[in-house]
Amino acid sequence: MSDNIIRLHYDIDADDFSSAGLASSGTKRMLNQLGFNPAIVKKVAISMYEAEINAVIHADGGCADVEITPEKIVVVISDKGPGIPDIEQAMQAGWSTATNEIREQGFGAGMGLPNMKRYTDDMKIETELGVGTKVTLIINVN
């Protein structure tokens, strides 16, 4: 693998729920092609997918930026949604504001943020009410 930084950018569209996950799917395939360890790829894929789904169900979409280097993979998911009023509460396993409609689509267990925390080496949430949310996920390669 060369020392070059690879950057990926995806728009996350919230209009069609069945297309949610395309950014994570594309990133996973790229990481596999680059020959990253499958366990590392899985950590990136799961945590990014959780963040991508959150942007779709809680914030009406957004975008994803991925930076791939031989040392680490950095995923940034940004949205212009309502923001998170209480991050500590949102991080608790089981806490969810998801509606029944979302739950019928298979989300709303309140496990997304805890899962992101578990599968990343570092995670940062920047959020402002009425402005949006930016979630940064960092997975070290070694």
Partner 1 sequence: MKVKDIIKILDAKLITGEENLELDIVSGCGADLMSDVMAYVKESVILLTGLTNTQVIRTAEMMDIQVICFVRGKCPNEDVINLAKERGITILTTKETLFISCGKLYSAGIVGRGVWNE
Of 36 and 53, CB closest to ligand ATP: 53
Binding mask 9-48 for ligand ATP (x = CB under 6 A): ----------------------------------------
What minimum distance in Å lies between the beta carbon of 129 and ligand ATP? 10
The token pair that represents 23 in the structure block: 């950014």
Q: Which of 47, 54, 127, 133 binds Mg ion (CB under 5 A)?
A: 54
Find out whether 68 and 139 touch, Cβ atoms under 8 Å.
no
Of 21 and 82, CB closest to partner 1: 21
- With 0-12 CB in 10 A as exposed, 13-18 as middle and 19+ as buried, what is 50? buried
Stretch that binds ligand ATP, among 5-13, 20-28, 33-41, 90-98 (CB under 6 A): 90-98
